[in-house]
Structure 1
Amino acid sequence: MSVEPFKIIIVGGSITGLTLAHSLHRIGVDFIVLEKRSEIVLQEGASIGILPNGARILDQLGLYTLIKQATGSLGASDLYFPDGFRFRSLYPTRVFETFGYPISFMERRRLLGILYAALPDKTKIKTGQHVISVETEARGEKGPIRVRTMDGDVYDGDLVVGADGVHSRIRDEMWRLLGPEMAARGREAISAEYSCCFGISDGVAELEAGEQMMRLDDGRALLVIPSRDQVVYWLCTQKLDRRYAYGEIPRFTAQQAEALCSQLADTALTETLCFGHVWERRKSYNMVAMEEYLLPKWSSGRIVCIGDSAHKMTVNFGQGANSAMEDAAALTNHIYTSLLQQGVTKPTDEQMTKLLHRLQERQMPRISRIAGASWAAARVHARDGFVFKLVGRYLMPSRVWGGLVDARAFGLMADATALDMLSLPLGLGPGWNKYADKGKGKGTFSYMYAYM
């Protein structure tokens, strides 16, 4: 009787899931992607910022040229404060000079479209597959773990990866297997203190591409990012009335999003242009609560959660999707070194448990630093209390402070995970080597400078 090859079931056709699919394809590991929605590429009104750590992984996978053609790059950021003070940050330019990749933005659906279109075998992507359970004692012919969908379909494999986002079904199944105590700890880690209203407008010729604007006010921040072809990405983060725990985090209607944007209509972006002009040219928008969490446990047996299903941060540091791509690369690295290079074709339960433990051990400290930076950036941008107001208004514009924190922020970037078995792209900037191992300090305030 022939032995079935090692197979991974990826739940979620997200950026995380599709990046993992590409990575597994490159090392010759079989996989299937199960997506709940009817299509991989849907309009959600969301943009995505691609930073050097994510760009490098996409470049290793041979996708960055396509992505570069669809993105607009940042050159500078202008920040405005309630007292009329304004300063210009050239941090985006320094990032490009240091790492060889710009900070760039594109529609989330376009990135998903590129990731999907570039997969050689589309039959491995199954849409309309709403996973309802994971059976760990199935021991089917094709693998020791089984996934069932709402329509009654069954998929067997050796590992189930939850890449299904903030409302992860796979995380629920993992918690069920871990038991009530660990499940309670996981739920207690999840909360939300901020909302984000985001959208995309087009036909805005009055704003210069690559010149980002940020309005910092008490309790909220408005970010406007003019891009190529007169497209503008924008978002408003706002402090909620209180901290909401897991199970009570609010959801928002289109009417609530419209009401907020109407309040912002008179907010000046330039001497002659207000946000209302951008809002009038909207083509899509949405409003969500921004959960913040870093789960204490990412795996159980042959189940693992990566990306937003394991950790979620505010948008203010721009690292959500980029850190998720790092998770996909890290998991691929561990599969390659712990299984493929050792000649293991069908890993035992013990081997899988050790592999996933090492994955979390590798990623947790780094994700913790990124999450801390995002936490602080959200509060500086919203001027949430005296200390954060002081940091944003007086320390961030300081040349002395800026020089000190560049090294820390660059260190956080340089320590990023890449695909170890694939060659690094040619022509990378000097910062990857210069700042390696310099992003492991605890200076949270230093990191948040990066998104200003």
Structure 2
Amino acid sequence: MCDEEVVIIGAGICGLATALALHKKGIKSIIMERSESLRNNTGAAIGIRPNGWRALDQLGVADILRHTAILLQRERVVSLDGGRQQKISLNHCVGETRCLRRKDLIDTLYAALPPATVKFGCQLESIKLDPQTNNPILRFIDGTSIITKVVIGCDGGKSIVADFLNLKPIKMFPRYAIRGLTNYPHGHPFGHEFTRFRKDDMLLGRIPIDNNLIYWFFSQPNIPKDEGIWKNNEVIRQYTIEWLSNCPQEIQEMAKNADINSLSFTDLRYRAPWDLLIGNFSRGTVTVAGDAMHIMGPFLGQGGSAALEDAVVLARNMATTGLNHREIGEAFNEFVRERRMRVVRLSLQVYLIGMLLDSSRLKKTLWIILLKLLFPNQESHMDYDCGGL
């Protein structure tokens, strides 16, 4: 007898969205979250492209979230080396682009779930299959175990579920990112514009969340330093101020006035496109979704939106079958088939853009040629529709 029928590992964006999608299809699930409370204070913000809003509409929370973030009207790319600028209107997109505080997205998804859907303080240690029933047996670090019919791993880039599926290790881009939020009590002067600044091998982005709050990220090639120091947010702030000292005053002020609790330093990780092409993302009644399946760099702003798509597609496929072993296996196979080429294309485009930032002149020419050949419309990833629940 199973303790639970459907267990989701991880209460991040994908885990909460998957539980909500299943709930809307009448399928009860339990989320096992390793933290002692909801992780709504980690991460600063997340850009949601039109395809992500289509998924949020299906989940029934889009209208709530629209009130928390302004509609972005254009993008601008500024070269701080030569002053060149490129403006891109967002009006051509079928849909919308907004930047959400991660806390707002997490809180909204969590509030839409039935009470007690998330069990906190449950850190997964291992998975094995019952030799008689093939049902997954989950063991947690506190020594407890449960037997379940279905396991969905939404446990991020360091996924225990992905390890069970023998997925290839994730890889690292040769750069890191610092992220933060800055509040302007009297309003910021940046309008509804997503601005990216480039200088040498530095990339800085600035995105308004509302009329007072700005999300920003700063990325450079990796530097060999003690990783321990990057857990100190004051060190992150001082380092950022130092590296932006030759930038325009408005950028320097943005870093100096940042909310210190919002700052984070992260390496940029990805699952290689060729591994996504051949990876085995399900085994029996176990599968993965979100970053556990297809963690990617931030260069398209699609990681969160792709995870929301996963939730809708996975629930739709599960709802067409029962919960016996064979039927769930078929649903997971169909989910993987439907998602594979979508995430391969996203990850390949992100990979080429990431390599373009940190290559020699000759390699940059090669990456540009490949991008133009493979992605003649580099905005087409936003036109994707994951379909209805």
TM-score of the two chains, using structure 2 as the length reference: 0.86
Q: Does 1:303 align with 2:281?
A: no
**Aligned residue in 2 for 1:43:** 41
Provide closer, same or farther for how the CA distance between residues 356 and 221 of structure 1 changes in structure 2, counting only shifts above 3 A.
Answer: same
Give the counterpart of 1:224 among 203, 206, 212.
Answer: 206
Q: Which moved more, 1:296-305 or 1:361-370?
A: 296-305
Query: Aligned-pair RMSD on alpha carbons?
Result: 3.1
State yes or no: 1:127 paired with 2:125. no
Q: 1:313 Cα deviation (Å)?
A: 1.1
Residue 105 (structure 2) aligns with? 111
Match of 1:173 among 156, 164, 167: 164
**Equivalence for 1:416:** 385
Q: Bigger shift: 355-364 or 26-35?
A: 355-364
Which residue does 2:182 correspond to in 1? 201
Query: 1:325-384 CA distances to partner (integer Å, 9 max, x unpaired)?
Result: 1112221122123x1xxxx3x422x4433332332222111101111121233344x364
Residues 301 and 406 of structure 1: CA distance in aligned 2, closer, same or farther (over 3 Å): closer
Contact 2:2/2:146 (<8 A) preserved: no
Q: Which has the higher contact order (CA 8 A, sep 6+)?
A: 2
Deviations 1:17-51 (A, max 9, x none): 11111110111112101111111143124210111
Distance 1:353 1:50 in 2: 31
Aligned residue in 2 for 1:437: none
* CA distance in 1: counterparts of 2:181 and 2:339, whole angstroms: 32
Partners of 1:392 and 1:88 in 2: how far apart? 20
Among 55, 60, 63, the alignment partner of 1:57 is 55
Separation in 2, partners of 1:47, 1:288: 14
**Structure 1 CA distance for aligned equivalents of residues 377 and 28 of structure 2:** 39
Which residue is 2:299 aligned to?
A: 316
1:328 to 298, 311, 317: 311
Query: Sequence identity, in percent?
Result: 21
Amino acid at match of 2:130: E
Q: Is it true that 1:286 corresponds to 2:264 in the alignment?
A: yes
Contact 2:190–2:208 (Cα < 8 Å) also in 1: yes
> 2:361 maps to what in 1?
386
User: Per the alignment, in what secondary structure is the counterpart of residue 274 of structure 1?
Assistant: helix
Q: CA deviation at 1:388?
A: 7.5
Aligned twin of 2:251: 275
Give the C-alpha shift of residue 302 in structure 1.
2.1
Give me the whole-angstrom Cα distance separating, in 2, the residues matched to 1:200 and 1:45. 10
- Correspondences of 1:75-86 after superposition (within 5 Å): 75-86=73-84
Query: Which runs of 5 or more residues in structure 2 are unaligned?
Result: none
State the one-letter code of the partner of 2:324.
Answer: P
Retained in 1: the 8 A contact 2:40–2:102?
A: no
Deviation at 1:281, TM superposition (A): 1.6
Q: Helix, strand or coil for the counterpart of 2:331? A: helix
**Superimposed CA distance per residue, residues 158-199 of structure 1 (whole angstroms, 9 cap, x where no aligned partner):** 110110101112222333xxxxxxx5xx12x53332211101
* TM superposition shift of 1:233: 0.4
Is residue 2:350 matched to residue 1:374?
Answer: yes
Q: Which amino acid aligns with 1:323?
A: A
Matched residues, number? 376
Question: Is the 1:134–1:148 Cα contact (8 Å) retained in structure 2?
Answer: yes
Spell out, residue by residue over 1:134-167, the C-alpha distance to the aligned partner (whole angstroms, 9 max, x if none).
Answer: 2310778xx9323222234433321101101011
Instruction: Flag the 1:413–1:224 CA change in 2: closer, same or farther, 3 A.
Output: closer
Pick closer, same or farther for the CA change 1:387–1:327 going to 2, 3 Å: farther
Cα offset, 1:236, TM superposition: 1.0
Residues 201 and 279 of structure 1 are in contact (CA less than 8 Å); yes or no, is this contact kept in structure 2? Answer: yes
Q: Partner amino acid for 2:147?
A: D
Distance 1:4 1:291 in 2: 36
Distance, in Å, in 2 between the alignment partners of 1:260 and 1:219 is 16
Give the letter aligned to residue 352 of structure 2: A
Q: Summarize deviations over 1:178-226 as a string: whole Å, max 9, x none.
A: xxxxx5xx12x53332211101111263432312221112222011113
CA distance in 2, matches of 1:74, 1:212: 7
> Aligned partners of 1:355, 1:16: CA distance in 2, in Å?
18
Cα distance change on mapping 1:317 and 1:388 into 2, 3 Å: farther
* Contact 1:11-1:34 at 8 Å conserved across structures: yes
* 1:32 to 2:30 alignment: yes
Q: Superposed, which structure 2 residues align to 1:317-356 within 5 Å?
A: 317-337=300-320, 339=321, 344=322, 346-348=323-325, 350-356=326-332
What amino acid is aligned across from residue 385 of structure 1 in structure 2?
A: S
